[in-house]
Structure 1
Amino acid sequence: MQLYNTLSAKEREALIEEAGKERLTISFYKYAHIGNPSIFRNHLFIHWNELDVLGRIYVAHEGINAQLSVPAENFAAFKSHLDSIIFLENVRLNIAIEQDNKSFLKLKVKVRKKILADGLNDATFDVTNRGVHVNAETFNTLIEDPDTILVDMRNHYESEIGHFKNALTPDVDTFRDSLDIIEQDLADHKEDKKLVMYCTGGIRCEKASAYYKHKGFKQVYQLEGGIIEYTRQVNDQNLENKFIGKNFVFDHRRGERITDHVIANCHQCGNPCDVHVNCANEACHLLFIQCDSCSEKMDNCCSNECKEINALPYEEQKKLRRGKVVSNKIFKKGRSEVLTYKK
């Protein structure tokens, strides 16, 4: 039985365009004990492939973390399948603020050691002893309290294009980097301050809140459903929106606009811009912010070197990158020395 993709991203993109049907971009996570992640992975792939689900899904002994795209006409069947799985029944689904039929172009269900790369030894603390979940209205009230410290649990390239007003935005490359830094910076306030955290969809705060309670923080809160659910509630309930800019997302959209504020700058010319792109040179693929003018001038590349390589015939490009590993450069995410106006 086929348990993997057979179509390329380009082939899938063409099929989506030809179909012309609306798709929904959705994310969800759930911490739960999964005895055999490989069997569960295959079960999901078989059922979701039949429903034309596309996306990036991680399965581990500790649970599932999913970001995916499903045809709107198949949503009911998809939801029914989720509800048939005991620990996923009525799981909260974060539906994207801005929809894009091409947010994902392949179905990838992968077995991992953990569903979130947090670098923590879960056996050393109670991961179920999490912080207090709060909705958008309560969150707005909490962050106006002078005894509250609001912390963005995302990485620098995420908060660079959008964040909550007055939030601490750690200058980190990964989630695991932020955990100890935040604890050290707030060490004097474990007893007297309310620690309020937020992230994209909530999964990072699930683990971080338990970790910080273990580390001695007495008042720990987390935004239920993250920025995605907050925005939905703000719109539905006509609440004051305290988020500014764009919400970075981990699919082909790379971001969804929450407000009209542009708080970042093009990494090449310094003009206001909050559009993330990947360098067109496949041997580089660096994630950075680039305005339309620089995109045209640089042929969608991050440097003149990459521009020259990208102009070569494709077969020559393949020869140049053969045997080379560039993942470290990819994950610098805007910190490359070739960028003049990097954060």
Structure 2
Amino acid sequence: MQLYNNLSAEERAKLIEQAGKERLTISFYTYAKIGNPEIFRNHLFVAWNELDVLGRIYVAHEGINAQLSVPADHFQKFKDHLDSISFLEDVRLNIAIEQDNFSFLKLKVKVRDKILADGLNDDTFDVTNKGVHVDAERFNTLIEDPNTVLVDMRNHYESEIGHFKNAVTPDVDTFRDSLSIIEEDLKTHKEDKNLVMYCTGGIRCEKASAYYKHKGFKNVFQLEGGIINYVRQVEEKNLENKFIGKNFVFDQRRAERISEDVIAHCHQCGKPCDTHVNCANEACHLLFIQCPECAEKLSGCCSEKCAEIAALPYEEQKALRRGQTKSNMIFKKGRSEVLKFK
């Protein structure tokens, strides 16, 4: 029984192109008690591999977090399979605003300690005791209330290219960093302010809202379905869009444009730009913002040194990487010292 990928990303991309079928990029999550995540993981892989589902899925004792791509003509079969699983029946599916047939090129279903790393070790913390879910219309009303504090629960490189107007955007690298920082900043307003949170698809707010209720915050709200669902509701109900810029996403697209505002800058020259790229030097792979002019000048790299390495024959690049382990520094998402306008 096949429980792993047998095609490379390049091979899969060619098959998708040859098939000529439209695919849907979808995300969903749910917190649920899963007794044996390994068995559940294998079940999902077998079922979804048959449907040509691709994506990145995390399974843990606390639930599932999925970002995936499914052929449009297999969507109903995929939905039927979800509905056959008790805790996934009628789960909300966030369908991407901008579709890309190549958003995912492999099916990766991984067992993790948690579906969302939070750094918390608190047995009294109940993730199901969450805040109030609000739709786009009520969210718009809440964030206009002077008694509301609106907090972006995403990381700095996400909010840098797009966020809601007047939102607090913590300068953090990870979700676990934001929890304690926000609690400390708002500790004097646990009872007299509305704490309203948002993130990409809702999973971070789901855990954060329960955490802040656990810490004594009285009026905790979260944007149901996150930015993705908000934009869809704004379009369907003809509401005012209060999000400016792009919504960062964790697949090959890297972002969906929500408004025409460009609020970020090229990390190399400072020109208005909100296009994330990964450094073309595979040994670096740094995520940063780069304008077309700088991309041409530095061959898609973050520095002249990386451009020199990327220009070498592939075998020479492999030889340079041999025996070296990737440092966490390469994943600092735009904080490298080589970037003048980070």
Counterpart residue number, 1:120: 120
**1:191 equivalenced with 2:197 (yes/no):** no
Counterpart residue number, 2:233: 233
Letter in 2 for 1:44: L
**Offset at 1:120?**
1.1
Tell me, yes or no, if the aligned pair for 2:152 and 2:159 is still in contact at 8 Å.
yes
- Give CA-to-partner distance per residue, 1:118-159, whole Å, 9 cap, x none: 111241322211100000000000000000000000000000
Uncovered stretches (5+) of structure 1, i.e. residues with no partner: none
How far, CA to CA, are the matches of 2:66 and 2:12 in structure 1?
20
Over 2 Å off, 4+ runs: none
Counterpart residue number, 1:333: 333
Counterpart residue number, 1:210: 210
Secondary structure, counterpart of 1:123 in structure 2: coil
- Bigger drift between 319-328 and 128-137 goes to 319-328
**Offset at 1:311?**
0.6
Letter in 2 for 1:71: P
Letter in 1 for 2:272: P
How far, CA to CA, are the matches of 2:108 and 2:227 in structure 1?
24
How far, CA to CA, are the matches of 1:329 and 1:276 in structure 2?
17
Describe how 1:46-85 pairs up with structure 2 within 5 A: 46-85=46-85
**Offset at 1:178?**
0.3
- Give CA-to-partner distance per residue, 1:14-70, whole Å, 9 cap, x none: 111111110000000010011110100000000100000000000001100000000
> Percentage identity across aligned positions?
82
Letter in 2 for 1:155: N
- Give CA-to-partner distance per residue, 1:275-326, whole Å, 9 cap, x none: 0000010000000000111111110100011000001111111111112222
Counterpart residue number, 2:18: 18
Tell me, yes or no, if the aligned pair for 2:31 and 2:128 is still in contact at 8 Å.
no
Tell me, yes or no, if the aligned pair for 1:161 and 1:262 is still in contact at 8 Å.
yes
Letter in 1 for 2:82: L
Secondary structure, counterpart of 1:196 in structure 2: strand
**1:146 equivalenced with 2:146 (yes/no):** yes
How far, CA to CA, are the matches of 1:271 and 1:334 in structure 2?
15
- Bigger drift between 78-87 and 323-332 goes to 323-332
**1:91 equivalenced with 2:91 (yes/no):** yes
Secondary structure, counterpart of 2:123 in structure 1: helix
Counterpart residue number, 1:314: 314
Tell me, yes or no, if the aligned pair for 1:23 and 1:101 is still in contact at 8 Å.
yes
Secondary structure, counterpart of 2:78 in structure 1: helix
**1:178 equivalenced with 2:178 (yes/no):** yes
How far, CA to CA, are the matches of 1:284 and 1:214 in structure 2?
40
Counterpart residue number, 1:301: 301
- Bigger drift between 27-36 and 123-132 goes to 123-132
Tell me, yes or no, if the aligned pair for 1:132 and 1:220 is still in contact at 8 Å.
yes
Counterpart residue number, 2:103: 103
Tell me, yes or no, if the aligned pair for 1:284 and 1:329 is still in contact at 8 Å.
no
Counterpart residue number, 1:155: 155
How far, CA to CA, are the matches of 1:29 and 1:330 in structure 2?
28
How far, CA to CA, are the matches of 1:128 and 1:42 in structure 2?
26
How far, CA to CA, are the matches of 1:168 and 1:278 in structure 2?
27
How far, CA to CA, are the matches of 1:113 and 1:53 in structure 2?
24
Counterpart residue number, 1:323: 323
TM-score, length of structure 1 as denominator length: 0.99
Letter in 2 for 1:318: K
Counterpart residue number, 2:264: 264
Describe how 1:281-292 pairs up with structure 2 within 5 A: 281-292=281-292
Aligned residues, how many?
Answer: 342
Secondary structure, counterpart of 2:263 in structure 1: coil
CA RMSD across the alignment: 0.7
Tell me, yes or no, if the aligned pair for 2:269 and 2:341 is still in contact at 8 Å.
yes
**Offset at 1:253?**
0.3
Letter in 2 for 1:47: A
How far, CA to CA, are the matches of 1:101 and 1:122 in structure 2?
41
How far, CA to CA, are the matches of 2:318 and 2:141 in structure 1?
54
- Bigger drift between 326-335 and 275-284 goes to 326-335
How far, CA to CA, are the matches of 1:160 and 1:21 in structure 2?
34
How far, CA to CA, are the matches of 1:161 and 1:325 in structure 2?
30
Tell me, yes or no, if the aligned pair for 2:60 and 2:113 is still in contact at 8 Å.
yes
**Offset at 1:92?**
0.1
